[in-house]
Structure 1
Amino acid sequence: MADFHQNGVVATLHNLRERSLERMENELAIFASCRPITLILPSLYSELQAPALDHIISELAQASYISEIVVGLDQADRAQFDHARSYFSRLPQKHSILWHDGPRLRAIDAKLAEEGLSPDQPGKGRNVWFCMGYVLASRQQGVVALHDCDITTYSRDMLARLVYPVANPRFPYVFSKGYYPRIADRSLNGRVTRLLVTPLLLSLERVVGHHPYLDYLKAFRYPLAGEFAMQSNILQDIRIPSDWGLEIGVLSELWRNQSSNVICQVDIADQYDHKHQPLSAEDAAKGLSRMSIDITKALYRKLATDGVVFNQDRFRTLKATYYRTALDLVETYHHDARMNGLTTDRHQEERAVELFAANLIEAGQVYLDNPNATPFMPSWNRVQSALPDLIHEMQEAVRLDATEE
């Protein structure tokens, strides 16, 4: 059962289960008449072959308040792109597919590269960044939402609850972040949030001292949730990482650019599950190992921009503090799971903590070895300053891809 606790940093909007989905969607249809609602779906082609996305599309087809759905398609050849066009054609809403591996969008990327503005690595962040640029080309002042394409427990009320706070003109919010419990198959999931981010934030506070940015991140119940919505005017100035640091990067940009009074988190599901990444202890370039390094680098870099000084001694201290804090939380999570009839594998959880602790040092070394790195993709304001016509060229490229036989 939901509580009504507020943390005093960002507003928490609970699900007290006193309101029907139909009533909320009716209101959203009214709001959308003056604040059009666009949904971004970053997708790998492989996700079109999984049942999760098929169910998501069936649910979205019933969300008539959505003005447009923008699909960012990665890792697709020509035949696969043609299949994607057919796959998404059942959506009754206006929809567009950004074929990132197609020749037209590759040409757009080459123009960006000539100006030193192209994202430096593939990934979800890069996919989302291009979709944001495409949305900006429409010049509509509305709401833009995003969620993943591998949610196996999806229902359309997740989206309705996510966009409602920023679509309602009587609310002050410009950004909403989804949260939920990660439970599936009688097991407590969400390892990276539980075993990396939560103890790392607590440990950073002990090592570097009290910092309002750490208070802000700790206020989010699920900071790594891939579901968020914002008013479209935010897209112009946002600078995000191209790697697994996307979610932390977005929250960091909101903290830099907006008052916490206009940021909220919203309870969007009683249960949530999606595709699970392997731990990948043997390969730091894959799975949760890479994710932990990317997220940790994003935190280090953000704190550094606020004047926090990092060196090898501080990273070693942080590792020791994190390791003890995380092991204590493994015990707490085990008790929480048992009390609710769930399970946790304590051996595997401690293995994950050991890997994440080692990766704190690895991420720190990457940070120290690359002092001139530019970890964030440029804002679309900067892109438009350098290449004023590019977003319209992107719009035309997507149109031609959609109509080409």
Structure 2
Amino acid sequence: MEYVQERIATLHDLADPAPDAPTDRAAVVLPMTEREYAGLAAERVLSELEHVDPERVVVPLRASAERVGPFTDWLSEYDLPLSVLWCDGPRLTSRLAEEGLNGRRGKGRDVWLALGQALDSEFVVVHDADTKTYSRSYVSRLLFPLSQGYEFSKGYYARVENDRLYGRLFRLFYAPLVAALAEETDAPILDYLSAFRYALAGEFAATTDVARRLRVQRTWGLEVGTLGDAFTLAGLDGSAQVDLGAYEHDHRAVGGPTGLSEMSRSVGAALLQVVEDHGVDPAYETLPRRYRETARRLVRQYGVDAAFNGLDYDRSEEYEQVERYTEAITAPSDDDRLPAWVDSPISPATVAELAEADLRESTADEADDGGAGE
């Protein structure tokens, strides 16, 4: 057990806390895709949220037209003030395209759409729906710093499951890349980015004043991009991180279209965009080499730590991942972040209206199809 403070306020799980927090003034954003439908992890999350009593739950749903109706019916079974925002409906997609906002689809885009719907609440909590060990205390833990005057908080946890170290993208890519950048400069943004114990965690909370000013990465760069704007909006003294305790969720392969190697490209682009935004001019000609050296040093350290704890650890496999991640270290090109809601050409009310119309039409079509087949 440790209680060391970092450059930002660090709230530890020393006594399995479930602190009093303003859950009744908070909107919970819970992004879902078709793969979460009736899944055990998602069912646990929703059942636990029933005991939290949030002001509202917004589910931005990325799903095909034929799945959105059954998905909505399943969600309605839970005793929650829950609304579904279908992110892929034709009216909403068309309007976003007209405003130049459609672009690539991914978790970040879904969360951005949902944040607009959450801004009537005082606080916003965002977290994933694939957490096998989800606890109702997560919401109050994330909100507690905000009740104490902080403006942004982020969850952290140790990714140790099945006698192995996980959190590979953070351990082997993000952390050594930030460390390599910090060799060049002592810019405050790098102090901030390195202060978070699990910077790629999907769980965070913010005041709505901060949430309405976040520019959101469209895909897997969401978590890093959020930290970049949180640094600007809340800063080191307005940010906190919270220990969420035991935590298990789905793991990804390294390769493939949704694997960690592909994710590293989005994360790397977001990270390098953030540091450039804050005045850092990375030496890109040497950065891949310096990243590799730092990452390989960390692999050795993780290997010793795993051996100390009797965990399985494949050092050669981790070295191979480092080589693959090195390919993601290039200067960012297109900046396709979605605008902060305070600057958006489309209002949250318009998004809600279009998404509701899409949802009504889709579910009505499904009902007609079902009736015709009887």
> Of 43, 49, 53, which residue of structure 2 is paired with 1:60?
49
TM-aligned CA deviation for residue 88 of structure 1:
1.0
TM-aligned CA deviation for residue 258 of structure 1:
2.1
> Of 34, 41, 50, which residue of structure 1 is paired with 2:30?
41
Tell me the alpha carbon deviations over residues 254-282 of structure 1, each in whole angstroms, 9 at most, x when there is no partner: 1112232111001011x2221111111xx
What is the alpha-carbon distance in structure 1 between the residues aligned to residue 235 and residue 192 of structure 2?
Answer: 11
8 Å Cα contact 1:10-1:264 kept in structure 2: yes
Equivalent position of 1:164 in the other structure: 144
What is the alpha-carbon distance in structure 2 between the residues aligned to residue 108 and residue 77 of structure 1?
Answer: 13
Question: Which TM-score applies when normalising by structure 2?
Answer: 0.91
Is 1:110 aligned to 2:82, yes or no?
A: no
Aligned sequence identity (%): 34
Q: Which runs of 5+ in 1 are unaligned?
A: none
Tell me the alpha carbon deviations over residues 200-254 of structure 1, each in whole angstroms, 9 at most, x when there is no partner: 1111112x32211111111100000000011112222111211211000000001
8 Å Cα contact 2:85-2:356 kept in structure 1: no
TM-aligned CA deviation for residue 49 of structure 1:
4.3
Amino acid at match of 2:315: R
8 Å Cα contact 1:61-1:93 kept in structure 2: yes
Tell me the alpha carbon deviations over residues 289-312 of structure 1, each in whole angstroms, 9 at most, x when there is no partner: 1111111111222222233335xx
Amino acid at match of 2:199: P
What is the alpha-carbon distance in structure 2 between the residues aligned to residue 394 and residue 18 of structure 1?
Answer: 39
Equivalent position of 1:396 in the other structure: 353
> Of 308, 311, 314, which residue of structure 2 is paired with 1:339?
308
Equivalent position of 1:101 in the other structure: 88
What is the alpha-carbon distance in structure 1 between the residues aligned to residue 284 and residue 290 of structure 2?
Answer: 10
What is the alpha-carbon distance in structure 2 between the residues aligned to residue 302 and residue 262 of structure 1?
Answer: 18
> Of 227, 239, 249, which residue of structure 1 is paired with 2:225?
249
Counterpart mapping for 1:5-404 below 5 A? 5-7=4-6, 9-17=7-15, 19=17, 21=18, 24=19, 27-28=20-21, 31-32=22-23, 36-64=25-53, 66-78=54-66, 80-103=67-90, 107-116=91-100, 118-136=101-119, 139-140=120-121, 142-166=122-146, 168=147, 171-206=148-183, 208-269=184-245, 271-280=246-255, 285-310=257-282, 314-360=283-329, 363-364=330-331, 367=332, 370=333, 373-383=334-344, 386-387=345-346, 390-400=347-357, 401=359
Tell me the alpha carbon deviations over residues 135-179 of structure 1, each in whole angstroms, 9 at most, x when there is no partner: 23xx33x1110111111222222222122222x2xx111111000
SS in 2 for 1:92: coil
Question: Which TM-score applies when normalising by structure 1?
Answer: 0.84
Runs of 4+ residues over 6 Å off in structure 1: none
Check 1:145–1:392 CA distance in 2 against 1; reply closer, same or farther (3 A cut).
Answer: same
What is the alpha-carbon distance in structure 2 between the residues aligned to residue 53 and residue 332 of structure 1?
Answer: 35
Amino acid at match of 1:38: A
What is the alpha-carbon distance in structure 2 between the residues aligned to residue 357 and residue 18 of structure 1?
Answer: 39
Equivalent position of 2:367 in the other structure: none
8 Å Cα contact 2:23-2:139 kept in structure 1: no
8 Å Cα contact 1:96-1:398 kept in structure 2: no
CA RMSD of aligned residues (A): 1.9
The count of aligned residue pairs is 362
8 Å Cα contact 1:196-1:356 kept in structure 2: yes
